[in-house]
Amino acid sequence: MTNSIEEILNTDAMFVIGSNTTENHPIIGSTMKQAIKNGAKLIVADPRKIELADYADVFLQLKPGTNIALLNGMMNVILEKGLQNKEYIEERCENFEELKEIIKEYTPERVAEICGVNTEDIIKAACIYAEADKAGIYYTMGITQHTTGTAGVMSVSNLALLCGNVGKESSGVNPLRGQNNVQGACDMGGLPADLPGYQKVFKPEVIEKFEKAWNAKLSSKVGMTIPEIFNGAHDGSIKFLYIMGENPMVSDPDINHVKKSLENVDFLVVQDIFMTETSAFADVILPAASFAEKDGTFSNTERRIQRVRKAINPVGDSKPDWQILMELMNFLGYKKTYSNPSEIMDEIASVTPSYGGIDYERIENVGIQWPCLDKNHPGTKYLHKTAIARGRGLFMPAEYTESAEIPDKNYPYVFTTGRILYHYHTRTMTGRVDGINQIAPSSYVEINETTANRLGIENGDRVKLTSRRGQIETTAKITEIIDDDVLFMPFHFADGAANYLTNSAADPIAKIAELKVAAVKIEKVN
Amino acid sequence: MNIIINGTTYEVEKNTTILQACKNAGIDIPTLCHDERLKPTSACRLCLVEVEGTKNLVTSCSTMVKENMVVHTHNEKVMKTRRDVLNLAISNHPLECLSCDKSGDCKLQDYCYEYGILNGTYKGAMRTPKIDSSNPFYDYDARKCILCGLCVRVCDELQCSNAIGFEDRGFEANVSTPFNEGLINSKCVSCGNCVSVCPVGALTPKGQKFRHWETSKVRTTCSYCGVGCQMDLVVKGKKIVDVEPAMDAINNGLLCVKGKFAYKFINHPDRLKTPLIKRNGKFEEATWDEAYRYITKKATEIKENYGPNSFAGLTSARCTNEENYLFQKLFRAVIGTNNIDHCARL
Ligand code: SF4
Ligand code: SF4
Ligand code: SF4
């Protein structure tokens, strides 16, 4: 997020697109509803009539995969009505002419057609967003999990820049990060091209700095992303795979492909707190301690570095992941030891500028939001305050293109996936809580009544779904919240796993798979 | 401005309630229905104080300070009225402290102790014995409900789910879902934020068996979603037995169903407790030393034969910063490859 969670309370308008906030970021969802009570306006764009839609001034139930068209359409209305922030564009942005050129083609009438929504609603949404003094955009995977995900993110940023909503309190561009520490995993260099703090591996000065700090020879060759790693394991170029705390056999697109890759790799180490669908393929399983059994920090979606504290001893012989990694490094000949995670944080601070001022003493009571450059730096509530980070805000206009796989005669339905309130990711943890299983016991597919009637499917019927990649059986749930000819499935369940069907076609830049759109067929199981 | 509390002059800010002013001055005033995050309702009447020049006692939670106001918080008149309020509250309350889960952490119990209330003397009808146990995570026992309204207000004003309200009046009054359909069939999203604010044992988590004085609390960060709510793990011996939301944090005393109730995986019997090595297609228990040696042997062989770029690692958005840092350091500095990624894209 460019901005902070508490700033939501003082916002004038919120535009929530591709985020089922009340289920996936429940406390942010509640904060948004509090803001509405304080008078904030709400625009919701989602293929499903999610809970927030009930609170919305405008709800746009768009077809999956048409975000960019909608965003361009809103910008078209804003420019047409002269609602853009001219001064801000002049002073702080560049490439405005190119934006105008592309946006001009996206009249609300044309966009309404593409997205399957009303022209008036697009106009209304654009006006609410542009006329609000402080307006924030909130999005999640509904924007990013498309072959055009990067362009989707750019389009969100274009809209925010157009109205001067970047670098300002209670506004901004706010991707809500899904997992507890996905922000931190990125910050710490858990990415193929990035050392900690997004310092690029291909920059000689960066490599030099880290070689000195770590006293080791480093590679400046950009590494592989997850899809490339699985392809490598599949074709034999990856021989040794180490998976810590992940379960791609449920969470990743095209599970049949993942399975073949895991079967094929020479040596697989899995480190986790439970047996998982993935660890079944391992050569060695290392038992890790849970979050309640170790010290450390997580960085949340608003970039706040917060303490995790040990409450009980690790169960059995399990060990905290940091200790396992350290001991393994030592076995492999790298003789560095840490007596506790606070020492690791001190090392992180010494090599990561945005974490430069972080230490355990400073975050004892309240976490600090990075960038926090040194010990006297108070941290940063919202980004881009005086200038856009890269100098000036750059408009990066994008054309709308169709999803990689669109419905056809054989696979006539749009299939989309997501999460639900009660489960978390692959259920490794929530699947072991009785009450949760009582409320959300098994996999299902949401189907609109009209579609169901046409196919003779009744609520609770067992159905078979097939895509070009796989086939699963699940239970039909007839609901009003989904459009005709669109099917939605939560991906959490290993039994009837949605990801056997999903498409691993990915965005060319971010390499994010198109988990939000696939073409499937559905039939009743007799 | 200045006000005089119990004979001492204090400087206070405008737009402060008497209750807040007393709190700032370190004077404890009992409350059952007050919560700083919510609009005051003056429902419990326990926070009554005497303001000189006013005929009746006033509720300090909803009365603003005025210049030169003279306040008495613990004089005999005030104390007697508070004893009456508590007496009334306890008169139709089942005195089950011996077996009540809330014992030791119950405001009614604490205040009765402080004000010396042994027994309710207003004998009459008891509260309706209504119990809603339809939710898998928590129960509502109307007999113990003191109608403070905190749960209803939290659900409405902060959680914004509006699942519950009051029905009926007098002895029949209780907290309920519309049409009495039961919590599980209502709009309730099982966040437990009502449970966390209930000052007595009317709303309690299911299946708990511990005494509050046997536990300790450890502040930590929720391990589920990226909101990063702050919470206290309630620890008894080797087990996590409850979770409470932190007030002074971004989540403002709220949690969702996962943070509040989905902690039982921690002490689940399925937890992996020892390293496992696959031999002839079967996992066998191993020591850490064996596991490390096996991995080291394989890693050395593969590196010699195929080079560092035949290695890849998936680090974890579930693990701490320190662990992610070490994971990428292991791959980059020790193995020598940048083939590291994680599920940021899922
Ligand atoms: S659990 Fe949450 S939603 Fe349900 S009644 Fe309580 S506060 Fe409301
Ligand atoms: S259930 Fe608890 S919080 Fe709710 S009104 Fe009764 S006593 Fe108050
Ligand atoms: S309590 Fe719920 S909203 Fe808060 S961090 Fe945990 S999962 Fe997220």
Task: Give the residue among A204, A130, A217 at the shortest CA–CA distance from A165.
Answer: A130
Which ligand has its closest atom nearest to the C-alpha of B108?
Answer: 2
pLDDT at A204: 95
Whether B171 shows a pLDDT value over 70: the answer reads no
Q: How far apart are CA B233 and CA B266, in angstroms?
A: 11
Percent of chain A at pLDDT > 90 equals 73
Q: How far apart are CA B275 and CA B83, in angstroms?
A: 61
Domain boundaries, chain A: 5-176, 177-223+290-307+338-373, 413-524
Distance B259 CA to ligand 1 centre (A): 14
pLDDT digits 0-9 by tens, B201-219: 999 999 888 999 999 999 9
Tell me the helix, strand and coil percentages in chain B, rounded to 5: 30, 20, 50
Find the helix or strand (DSSP H, E) in which B255 lies.
none
User: Which CATH number applies to B2-74: 2.40.30.10, 3.10.20.740, 3.50.50.60, 3.40.1710.10?
Assistant: 3.10.20.740
Whether B172 shows a pLDDT value over 80: the answer reads no
pLDDT at A386: 64
Q: How far apart are CA A24 and CA A8, in angstroms?
A: 17
Q: What is the DSSP letter of A199?
A: E
pLDDT digits 0-9 by tens, B114-153: 999 988 888 776 777 788 999 999 999 989 999 999 999 9
Whether B159 shows a pLDDT value over 60: the answer reads yes
pLDDT digits 0-9 by tens, B15-67: 999 999 999 999 999 999 999 999 999 899 999 999 999 989 999 999 999 99
Task: Give the residue among A77, A74, A223, A212 at the shortest CA–CA distance from A155.
Answer: A74
Exposed/middle/buried for B67, CB within 10 Å: 0-12, 13-18, 19+? exposed
Q: Give me the residue from A275, A307, A317 closest to B220, CB to CB.
A: A307
pLDDT digits 0-9 by tens, A319-362: 999 999 999 999 999 999 999 999 999 999 999 999 999 999 99
Tokens for A43?
Answer: 């625009």
pLDDT at B138: 95
Q: Which atom of ligand 1 is nearest to the CA of B162?
A: 8
The reply to whether ligand 1 has any atom less than 6 angstroms from the CB of B193 is yes
Percent of chain B at pLDDT > 90 equals 84
Which residues on A lie below 8 Å from B229 (Cβ)? 27
- Class of domain A177-223+290-307+338-373 (CATH, top level): alpha beta
Preceding peptide of A371 cis, ω within 30°: yes
**Averaged over A383-410, what is the pLDDT?**
82
**Inter-chain contact B191–A186, Cβ cutoff 8 Å?**
no
Q: What is the ipTM of this complex?
A: 0.92
pLDDT at A186: 94
Task: Give the residue among A445, A449, A469 at the shortest CA–CA distance from A522.
Answer: A445
**Averaged over A176-182, what is the pLDDT?**
89
Confidence of residue A132 (pLDDT cuts 50, 70, 90): very high
Other CB atoms closer than 10 Å to residue A109's CB: what's the count? Answer: 11
pLDDT digits 0-9 by tens, A218-256: 999 999 999 899 999 999 999 999 999 998 888 888 888
**Averaged over A263-287, what is the pLDDT?**
95
Domain boundaries, chain B: 2-74, 214-269, 276-342
pLDDT at A431: 85
- The DSSP code sequence of A412-423 is -EEEEEE--TT-
Mean pLDDT of chain A, nearest integer? 92
pLDDT at A198: 95
Residue B332 φ then ψ, to 5°:
-80, -50
Find the helix or strand (DSSP H, E) in which B194 lies.
helix B193-197
**Identical topology for domains A177-223+290-307+338-373 and A413-524:** no
- Which CATH number describes the domain made up of B214-269? 2.20.25.90
pLDDT at A391: 67
pLDDT at A278: 93
- Which among A5, A9, A141, A181 is the top mutation candidate for probing chain B, defined by the most B β-carbons within 10 Å of its own β-carbon? A181
pLDDT at A389: 56
Which residues on A lie below 8 Å from B248 (Cβ)? 366
Whether A487 shows a pLDDT value over 80: the answer reads yes
Which residues on B lie below 8 Å from A252 (Cβ)? 343, 346
* Secondary structure class of B63 (helix, strand, coil): coil
Confidence of residue A382 (pLDDT cuts 50, 70, 90): confident
Mean pLDDT of chain B, nearest integer? 92
**Averaged over A463-485, what is the pLDDT?**
93
Tokens for A90?
Answer: 């002049």
Distance B195 CA to ligand 2 centre (A): 8
Q: Is B345 on the interface with A (CB under 8 A)?
A: yes
pLDDT at A388: 59
Whether B269 shows a pLDDT value over 90: the answer reads yes
**pTM of this structure:** 0.93
CATH 3.40.228.10 assigned to A5-176: yes
Q: How far apart are CA B346 and CA B340, in angstroms?
A: 15
Task: Give the residue among B168, B106, B109, B162 at the shortest CA–CA distance from B142.
Answer: B168
Structural domain A413-524, CATH architecture? Beta Barrel (2.40)
Confidence of residue B175 (pLDDT cuts 50, 70, 90): confident
pLDDT digits 0-9 by tens, A136-155: 999 998 888 888 888 889 99
CB A434 within 8 A of CB B136: yes
Closest-CA distance of chain A to residue B325, Å = 5
Distance A243 CA to ligand 3 centre (A): 25
Please give the sequence-ordered ranges of beta strands (E in DSSP) within A335-493, or none if there are none: 368-369, 393-394, 413-418, 444-447, 462-466, 471-478, 486-490
CB A176 within 8 A of CB A138: yes
